[in-house]
Structure 1
């Protein structure tokens, strides 16, 4: 089996500084992705995100790896709550932000499925999840930048 990753590109009509805030700060992340988010957007910080609207009320740990505003935000997640994130036990999510005219090209990737021996159904669940959540970024940013 080859390397599995999830890669997406989205053009957002807002400056990279705005998009960075939306993909890194918990108060914004909660508006388009998990139901709850509790972490500091700083390298080495740990916290959790939660999908409390699910029947199982899933809580997932998160460790911030890189925070380079307004260019890049990277974290590891999807490891056991009682463990420290490593290459072998977690997935790596990267948001790269590239200025594009008056907006931003957001390059998203999630990797580590092979290193962590992630089952196919988990990989496909993440593909489906990101296909649902990432498109929610654009309308959320639009509301932010058009708010009085």
Structure 2
């Protein structure tokens, strides 16, 4: 995989209203279900702390960057937990939501891979894992948002 890729993008249409999808993307009880499979914590304000925890990968620290309900939510998340978040150890994830009738179009853009302070092999691995991850995670989000319990 190329190591000069800076951005991963994925867009999906979810058969659920914008307000429901916004809550699913920004509230800890939902993030810790469809995205981080072992829980999430979030202080939903710019500069707020975000922690995403996976059974397989452990906890990853983040910082909320943008909260513009119900259309834009962005955060930076670190490669390794326990370090202050910088451009060299984190990427920026931006969710953009827009209503399409009774459905919601959700776009995710993760950027900053070329600024990561890792070697080429590490960068390529991170890009590949996150590209595959966004495919799977957004499919999980769609199923979760379209279910009656969300």
Superposition TM-score, scaled by structure 2 size: 0.86
Q: In structure 2, how many angstroms separate the alpha carbons of the residues matched to 1:142 and 1:116?
A: 35
User: Which residue of structure 1 aligns with residue 133 of structure 2?
Assistant: 129
User: Which residue of structure 2 aligns with residue 116 of structure 1?
Assistant: 116
User: Which residue of structure 2 aligns with residue 31 of structure 1?
Assistant: 33
What 5-or-longer segments of structure 2 have no aligned partner? Answer: none
Does 2:127 align with 1:139?
no
Q: CA RMSD in A?
A: 1.8
Query: Where do residues 1-148 of structure 1 align in structure 2 (5 Å cutoff)?
Result: 2-34=4-36, 35-52=38-55, 54=56, 57-118=57-118, 119-143=123-147, 146-147=148-149
Deviation at 1:14, TM superposition (A): 1.7
Q: Would the aligned equivalents of 2:67 and 2:73 in 1 still touch at CA under 8 Å?
A: yes
Superposition TM-score, scaled by structure 1 size: 0.87
Q: In structure 2, how many angstroms separate the alpha carbons of the residues matched to 1:133 and 1:62?
A: 18
Q: Which stretches of structure 1, 4 residues or more, deviate above 6 A after TM superposition?
A: none
Deviation at 1:2, TM superposition (A): 4.0
Q: In structure 1, how many angstroms separate the alpha carbons of the residues matched to 2:96 and 2:25?
A: 10
Q: In structure 2, how many angstroms separate the alpha carbons of the residues matched to 1:14 and 1:47?
A: 25
Structure with higher helix content: 2
Q: Would the aligned equivalents of 2:10 and 2:107 in 1 still touch at CA under 8 Å?
A: yes
Q: Aligned to 2:139, what secondary structure does the other structure show?
A: helix
Q: Aligned to 1:114, what secondary structure does the other structure show?
A: helix
After superposition, give the CA deviation of every residue in 1:83-133 in whole Å (9 maximum; x if it has no partner). Answer: 322223211001000111211110111111111145101110111111111
Q: Would the aligned equivalents of 2:18 and 2:97 in 1 still touch at CA under 8 Å?
A: yes
Q: Would the aligned equivalents of 1:66 and 1:74 in 2 still touch at CA under 8 Å?
A: yes
Deviation at 1:51, TM superposition (A): 0.8
